[in-house]
Amino acid sequence: MEQIAGGVTAAKGFMAAHTAAGIKYQSRDDMALIFSEQPCVVAGTFTRNVVKAAPVKWDQQIVHDSPYAQAVVINAGIANACTGQEGMGYCQQTADCAAQLLGISPDAVLVASTGVIGMQLPMERLESGIRGMAPQLAATLEAGSGAAKAIMTTDTHKKEAAVSFTVDGKTVTVGGMSKGSGMIHPNMCTMLAFVTTDLAISKELLQEALSRVVEDTYNMISVDGDTSTNDTCVLLANGMAGNAQITERNQDYEAFVEALLEVNRTLAKMMAGDGEGATALFEVRVIHATTKPEAVTLAKSVVTSSLTKAAIYGHDANWGRILCALGYSGVTFDPEAVDLYFESVNGRLKIIEDGVATDYSEEEATRILTADAVTAICDMKQGTAEATAWGCDLTYDYVKINADYRS
Amino acid sequence: MEQIAGGVTAAKGFMAAHTAAGIKYQSRDDMALIFSEQPCVVAGTFTRNVVKAAPVKWDQQIVHDSPYAQAVVINAGIANACTGQEGMGYCQQTADCAAQLLGISPDAVLVASTGVIGMQLPMERLESGIRGMAPQLAATLEAGSGAAKAIMTTDTHKKEAAVSFTVDGKTVTVGGMSKGSGMIHPNMCTMLAFVTTDLAISKELLQEALSRVVEDTYNMISVDGDTSTNDTCVLLANGMAGNAQITERNQDYEAFVEALLEVNRTLAKMMAGDGEGATALFEVRVIHATTKPEAVTLAKSVVTSSLTKAAIYGHDANWGRILCALGYSGVTFDPEAVDLYFESVNGRLKIIEDGVATDYSEEEATRILTADAVTAICDMKQGTAEATAWGCDLTYDYVKINADYRS
């Protein structure tokens, strides 16, 4: 497997376009279109929030019922959530408009929205956005990057990743883009992520691979503990790599899962590190836990602790808050067995041994914690299970961004 | 039942003292002592965090095994949590010192600590604090207030409440004090709360009453979602009101529960409203839910949502975040049945009807949300159960306080 440049247009036969439709943001792109030359097998994972945005319901139906998908229309600025029947109608209109221009069926068009909850979409602007994008579709990396920029909301940079690997003598590519900065606590997957591949694979295995990978990537990140109404991750496979279709869980399937994991982990970490107001990516690695679910629960409890996140922002080795967050996670363990390490590009330091502080240097700890990416390693010394979660620090800017997001 | 002035010294036979022992804070009181003339039946509820501070373990043992309790020694500044065997030894030394000075048994002395996790207590200063306080014990309201001030950490004001009512022709008083501003997400009860009464009641019923009341008071508040290692609520009953001892669940018992509920609800709301950095008390009332546990889960999900809390700080009627938080709570409901109201001293406004926005005035909503105490009422229109949770807004100052708490 090799990391390569690009995002949704990296795989063969995928094109993208983007435009400034003026949906809510002014003077910036706010719509993107993804199109595949060939019909795609499609898999998806969606928010488990009871309150589901209209595009989530639309896409769930496409993934479940449509024989294939071929295009995705995305807008930033308005989430089309809590918009009732009117909101569902807008999904249909969007799909109809794109389908007509692209010469495909409306039930091959996925839609996705992100932004403010509760406002209705300005359909005229959305439709003229689609009409503007259709003739501009291009298979270039630039077109993919432009699409990745267009779907941002409070994100500070675009999020793309791609890898290539070999199946059946053919080069296969997996590429994707995502956005997400606030209301990030995926339970599926929060945020929007779009992944494309030219692999030939059965629908059943495509969905299985995606569901498996999402557990260890998007479902392990949190910016603020708020699971969105719009979380969507769709994976399109158009088969244009020319490999014999994968229909069983063989070595090729595992190679694909590994590539998919790499792309989605990269996108997930980018999202966590670019959490609203964040100054640092905060990684929590729980090792030697009793079971995998317990390791997951422990890691998530630390990564979502407001007090721990504020301490990371202050570069303060306030390890008591980490032990405390492990303790209230709901998992039973022996607090007097726990070791804790802080690690970054600036070094690695053992802070707690057997539940009490080592004689560590606060100065050295602060130096480690001033890096852009900081890891806490919690050694439970109980078993062999492990899990990694990603989040970010809690800053003034998080409060600022969210105290007046709508105004 | 009548609300009266005072706190832990309001009930007959209870005395208090306070002093500046210089444990961590300088130039302010940081220790308090409560003493009852007569031995007390004692009940307690404690943190469910797996990581329990030494004083929690000490008090659990006293509540469980001791025939009675008669004194409480409290310090602010250092939590005596994650301090291993050494920390447990300090509890014993504290109890020994107080017991000798007060002429009681060490296993009648409860201890409580709040502050930084992981540091060891400076025992010499603690002991001279106790020696200084013992001769100053007084039954005055001033002594109670002084104790309530001495146990504060990042609190901005003291928290006291008291009521009186009649049992068996005798006036009975229930009074209490508490502290707690950060690491507040009680699962018992977080923070420290000390409640005294002169009621005569059996130990079994005293514990039952406390456990029942804690569920609807301390367990319904959250400042930051972090359940502390030190949460402690103890209730001392010395029987000096002179009523015939309550030994069954009769009308007198219910009158006591009601009085206990009033005192603890008042203390709990004070804690939520004085959450670290808070500018407003945020109350979430869920009505017409299917079951009580579901109502509790829904109310807590909203009150702990970072995005909702930031919006309250910004006086922004960002109701989408409230619907979203109801949606990810884990409770199943029909989003298109939900009504939402905002309410404060400035008025009441219906914001959502049947899951979509009403034609409300943003200006009017902002006016309601600028009050010191703001209520969101979520009408699920499903059944008859209800629950109320209390929290606060998320502010720059929360981040500031917690980014450099230790330094």
Averages of pLDDT over runs of 10 residues in chain A (407 residues) are 92 95 94 95 85 91 93 93 90 98 96 88 97 97 96 87 90 89 53 86 92 85 72 86 93 93 89 85 96 94 90 88 88 92 96 90 93 95 94 87 66
Q: What is the CATH number of domain B2-272?
A: 3.60.70.12
CA distance, residue A393 to nearest chain B CA (Å): 10
Contacts of A356 in chain B (CB under 8 A): 82-84, 118
Structure tokens at B196: 């005294």
A307 to B51: CB separation less than 8 angstroms, yes or no: no
How many other C-beta atoms are found inside a 10 Å radius of the C-beta of residue B75? 29
Per-residue confidence (pLDDT) for residue B402, from 0 to 100: 79
How many other C-beta atoms are found inside a 10 Å radius of the C-beta of residue B371? 17
Query: What class is the A2-273 domain?
Result: alpha beta
Are the C-beta atoms of residues B133 and B17 closer than 8 Å to each other? yes
Q: Which residues, in sequence order, are CB contacts of B374 under 8 Å at separation 6+?
A: B280, B281, B282, B283, B312, B342, B343, B344, B368
Per-residue confidence (pLDDT) for residue A407, from 0 to 100: 43
DSSP B201: B
Per-residue confidence (pLDDT) for residue B328, from 0 to 100: 84
Q: Burial of B116 by CB count in 10 Å (0-12 exposed, 13-18 middle, 19+ buried)? A: middle
Per-residue confidence (pLDDT) for residue A276, from 0 to 100: 81
CA distance, residue B148 to nearest chain A CA (Å): 25
| SS3 state at A7 | coil
ipTM above 0.90, yes or no: no
Cα distance between residue A289 and residue A300, in whole Å: 13
CB distance from B404 to chain A under 8 Å? Answer: yes
CB distance from B388 to chain A under 8 Å? Answer: no
Per-residue confidence (pLDDT) for residue A189, from 0 to 100: 35
For residue B206, give the nearest of B217, B192, B195, B215 by alpha carbon: B195
Cα distance between residue B23 and residue B29, in whole Å: 10
Q: Burial of B103 by CB count in 10 Å (0-12 exposed, 13-18 middle, 19+ buried)? A: exposed
CB distance from A394 to chain B under 8 Å? Answer: yes
Q: Burial of A381 by CB count in 10 Å (0-12 exposed, 13-18 middle, 19+ buried)? A: middle
Q: Which residues, in sequence order, are CB contacts of B97 under 8 Å at separation 6+?
A: B126, B127, B130, B131
DSSP A8: T
CA distance, residue B45 to nearest chain A CA (Å): 16
pLDDT in tens, B8-31: 999 999 999 999 999 999 999 999
For residue B296, give the nearest of B204, B385, B407 by alpha carbon: B385
Closest partner residue to B84 among A48, A323, A355, by Cβ? A355
CB distance from B207 to chain A under 8 Å? Answer: no
B402 to A328: CB separation less than 8 angstroms, yes or no: no
Are the C-beta atoms of residues B372 and B281 closer than 8 Å to each other? yes
The 10 Å CB-count burial string (b at 16+, else e) for A133-149 is bbeebebebebbbbbbb
Could you tell me which chain A residue has the CA closest to the CA of B298?
A50
A402 to B356: CB separation less than 8 angstroms, yes or no: no
Contacts of B335 in chain A (CB under 8 A): 50-52, 82
For residue A3, give the nearest of A141, A173, A146, A147 by alpha carbon: A173
Cα distance between residue B379 and residue B351, in whole Å: 11
Structure tokens at B114: 């709040």
| SS3 state at A354 | coil
Strands (E), B272-314: 281-289
CB distance from A327 to chain B under 8 Å? Answer: yes
Cα distance between residue A88 and residue A17, in whole Å: 24
Structure tokens at B298: 């829904």
CATH architecture of structural domain B281-403: Roll (3.10)
pLDDT in tens, A113-164: 988 888 899 999 999 999 999 999 999 999 999 999 999 888 888 989 899 9
CB distance from B48 to chain A under 8 Å? Answer: yes
Q: Which of residues 123-162 of A touch B (CB under 8 A)?
A: none
Per-residue confidence (pLDDT) for residue B184, from 0 to 100: 62
CB distance from B282 to chain A under 8 Å? Answer: no
**Which of the residues A9, A94, A190, A229 is marked catalytic?**
A190
B320 to A81: CB separation less than 8 angstroms, yes or no: yes
Q: Cα separations (Å) of A271 from A17, A177, A196, A267, A403? A: 22, 10, 18, 6, 21
Q: Could you say which residues of chain B have pLDDT below 70?
A: 182-190, 225, 227, 405-407
Residues constituting chain B:
407
Cα distance between residue B299 and residue B305, in whole Å: 10
Is A171 annotated as catalytic?
A: no
Q: Which of residues 49-88 of A touch B (CB under 8 A)?
A: 49-52, 79, 81-84
Contacts of B318 in chain A (CB under 8 A): 117, 405-406
Cα distance between residue B305 and residue B322, in whole Å: 8
Q: Which of residues 103-122 of B touch A (CB under 8 A)?
A: 116-118
The CA dihedral of B381, B382, B388, B391, to the nearest 10 degrees, is: -70
Cα distance between residue B315 and residue A406, in whole Å: 11
Interface residue of B282, B324, B332 to substitute, partner A, most A CBs within 10 Å: B324
Using only C-alpha atoms, what is the Rg of chain A? Answer: 22
pLDDT in tens, B218-261: 888 777 767 677 777 889 899 999 999 999 999 999 999 999 99
For residue A377, give the nearest of A290, A314, A289, A311 by alpha carbon: A289
Pairs of CB atoms within 8 A across A/B: 208
Q: What is the pTM of this model?
A: 0.79
| SS3 state at B91 | helix
Q: Hey, where are the domains in chain A?
A: 2-273, 281-403
**Which of the residues B114, B153, B190, B388 is marked catalytic?**
B190
